[in-house]
Amino acid sequence: MIRMFSGTSVCRVGLNQKALTKLLSTTIVPEMPPCDHKPGTYEGPDYTKVQAIKKQNIVPCILSYYKKPLLLHEGHMQWLFDHTGKRYLDMFGGIVTVSVGHCHPKVNEAAIEQMNKLWHTTNIYMHPKLHEYAEALTAKLPGDLKVVYFVNSGSEANDLAMLMSRAHTRNFDIISLRNGYHGMNPYIQGATALSTWRYNVPLGHGIHHAMNPDVYQGIWGGSHCRDSPVQSTRKCSCKPDECQACDMYYGQLEEVFKFSLPRGKVAGFFAESIQGVGGTVQFPKGYVKKAFEIVRANGGLCISDEVQTGFGRTGETFWGFESHGVVPDIVTMAKGIGNGFPLAAVVTTPTIAESLGQALHFNTYGGNPIACATGLAVLRVIDEEKTQANSLAVGTHLLKRLAKIRDEFPQFVGDVRGKGLMIGVELVSDAESRTPMQAPHFLEIWEECKDRGVLLGRGGLYGNVLRIKPPMCISKQDADFAADIFRLAIARFAERVARK
């Protein structure tokens, strides 16, 4: 690994352009870690033709990353290759979806084997892979969470969880958190509380958005509040074993019950274990547990959205909700469940599952044989290759590396947060006010990382958070390369600012 910028911090509130120029002139660009995979020759339509097809035949709301969008044609574990053969380290995992590695050979083999036997029947018939997979998946969950309904996406899973909670409790009102993302299907879209994802159409009747307990950008919280190897630099009055911010945010949740709901009646409460699209936001310690208690006291069900945090991504536990010390009534999961294959699931208790018997409910592709074979292979790879342990070790290492960059460039790197390989880096334009970095400046840094071979996600309400959720097979060498490239991009940005 090549270390850059030894010595004192170079980017404080008063930028020293001369010092930056001197350091950058002696900087060695980090070398990409080796990869023994040789991609095949690209044989599709040329880049210009693909752009034309996109413009003419793809809906315009499907936006591509980067000024010059990548045309990717092959993947291998943590690596992606574009049409020219250029290699990229994928630190976003297909939007937190590629869990065990692009084209993992064991997963590929399972899918191909099933494809050669049986593609599709639907659940009107039994087939072995669905039942094998249902048994293996529910074995990963605690308590009475033993009944699964397979669907095809996280939006479908959360949609069904909302229906299930209303059918079971015979209550109507739903609570979700501001800044949370739970999908774009019309039924569940109301629970998504980010203005950038909401259309000007009627939706969300009976859904209430509680204050988001964000200890970095929110009203309360700071350096003692998160369950993370890296704490916020924001000062707070909390003690290490006592989070006042939790109590204050919980008080705001109580207000929703006091003023917005029928007394003693709620159908369900949705919460991501760590908010994903919203910018890898972590809640204060103890908040989710207290939230679950008040929801249940008012007749509701607690729904953990594990679409991004499940399957060992957070490192210490297999499911993100386990870090909060809770057992939900319903768990939704997708993305990493199939390593990129369209697959999702809702797991609940037998009693709650019976509530769907009030009417017919059917999903044509839910439990598809190829999907189930793929999902079962993913579970086996997670266990055999110990990807959860790797997420913890590599993720903690990367978080600490990123925290050092934050400390060196506090005027631009406001916060580093997360657990395992569920990481967010919030870029700001002012350290004290925590003002989100403006999009043109963010894009300068983001684009440079891409140009130097590192693909990072983007999230948060203002699009100023780097979302780092790579395939869980990455190594510490890969993590160091990504951190070094990010540090180089930040330093070069700091130099440009100093020149102005």
SS (H, E, C) the chain: CCCCCCCCCCCCCCCCHHHHHHHHHCCCCCCCCCCCCCCCCCCCCCHHHHHHHHHHHCCCCCCCCCCCCCCEEEEEECEEEECCCCEEEECCHHHHCCCCCECCHHHHHHHHHHHCCCCCCCCCCCCHHHHHHHHHHHCCCCCCCCEEEEECCHHHHHHHHHHHHHHHHCCCCEEEECCCCCCCCCCCHHHCCCHHHCCCCCCCCCEEEECCCCCCCCCCCCCCCCCCCCCCCCCCCCECCECHHHHHHHHHHHHHHHHCCCCCCCCEEEEECCECCCCCECCCCCHHHHHHHHHHHCCCEEEEECCCCCCCCCCCCCCHHHHHCCCCCEEEECHHHCCCCCCEEEEECHHHHHHHHHCCCCCCCCCCHHHHHHHHHHHHHHHHCCHHHHHHHHHHHHHHHHHHHHHHCCCCEEEEEEECCEEEEEEEEECCCCEECCHHHHHHHHHHHHHCCEECEEECCCCCEEEECCCCCCCHHHHHHHHHHHHHHHHHHHHHHHHC
Between 6 and 26, where is the model more confident?
A: 26
Give mean pLDDT, residues 216-238: 92
| Strands 207-210 and 268-272, sheet pairing | unpaired
Tokens describing residue 210: 């509680």
CB 315 within 8 A of CB 125: no
Best CA proximity match to 279, nearest among 469, 468, 424: 424
Q: What is the pLDDT of residue 322?
A: 98
Indicate the pLDDT class of residue 13, thresholds 50, 70 and 90: very low
Q: What is the pLDDT of residue 22?
A: 58
Instruction: Give me the torsion for CA of 221, 285, 184, 391, rounded to 10°.
Output: 110
Instruction: Report d(CA 245, CA 177) in Å as an integer.
Output: 16
Instruction: Report d(CA 117, CA 194) in Å as an integer.
Output: 43
Give mean pLDDT, residues 450-475: 98
Indicate the pLDDT class of residue 237, thresholds 50, 70 and 90: confident
pLDDT in tens, 250-307: 999 999 999 999 999 999 999 999 999 999 999 999 999 999 999 999 999 999 999 9
Whether 17-91+408-499 and 106-384 share one fold: the answer is no
Q: In whole angstroms, how far apart are CA 140 and each of 30, 146, 164, 398?
A: 40, 9, 21, 27
pLDDT in tens, 359-400: 999 899 999 999 999 999 999 999 999 999 999 999 999 999
Q: What is the pLDDT of residue 2?
A: 34
Q: Is the dihedral of CA 230, 236, 240, 246 positive or negative?
A: negative
Indicate the pLDDT class of residue 24, thresholds 50, 70 and 90: low
Instruction: Report d(CA 217, CA 415) in Å as an integer.
Output: 10
C-alpha R_g of the chain: 23
Indicate the pLDDT class of residue 20, thresholds 50, 70 and 90: low
Q: What percent of the chain has pLDDT over 70?
A: 95
Domain ranges of the chain: 17-91+408-499, 106-384
CB 311 within 8 A of CB 337: yes
CATH architecture designation of domain 106-384: 3-Layer(aba) Sandwich (3.40)
Q: What percent of the chain has pLDDT over 90?
A: 89
Beta-bridge partner residues of 148:
347
Contacts of 122 (CB under 8 A, 6+ apart): 364, 365, 367
Rounded to the nearest angstrom, the gap between the alpha carbon of residue 306 and the centroid of all alpha carbons in its chain is: 9
Residue 477 φ/ψ, nearest 5 degrees:
-60, -40
Q: Is 206 exposed, middle or buried (0-12, 13-18, 19+ CB in 10 A)?
A: middle
Give mean pLDDT, residues 235-243: 81
Helices 476-499 and 387-408, axial angle in degrees (round to 10): 20
CB 410 within 8 A of CB 12: yes
Inform me whether the pLDDT recorded for 14 exceeds 80: no
Q: What is the pLDDT of residue 9?
A: 39
Beta-bridge partner residues of 468:
423
Q: Which residue has the tokens 């839910």?
A: 366
Question: What is the separation, in whole angstroms, between the first and last Cα of the chain?
Answer: 33
Inform me whether the pLDDT recorded for 62 exceeds 50: yes
Phi-psi region at 280: left, alpha or beta (left = phi > 0; alpha = psi -120 to 50): left
Phi-psi region at 93: left, alpha or beta (left = phi > 0; alpha = psi -120 to 50): left
Instruction: Report d(CA 186, CA 441) in Å as an integer.
Output: 34
pLDDT in tens, 156-183: 999 999 999 999 999 999 999 999 999 9
Beta-bridge partner residues of 89:
79, 454
Average pLDDT of every residue of the chain: 94
As a CATH number, domain 17-91+408-499 is 3.90.1150.10
Inform me whether the pLDDT recorded for 16 exceeds 70: no
Which amino acid appears at position 18 of this protein?
K
Indicate the pLDDT class of residue 238, thresholds 50, 70 and 90: confident
Which amino acid appears at position 86 of this protein?
K
pLDDT in tens, 66-112: 999 999 999 999 999 999 999 999 999 999 999 999 999 999 999 99
Instruction: Report d(CA 120, CA 134) in Å as an integer.
Output: 17
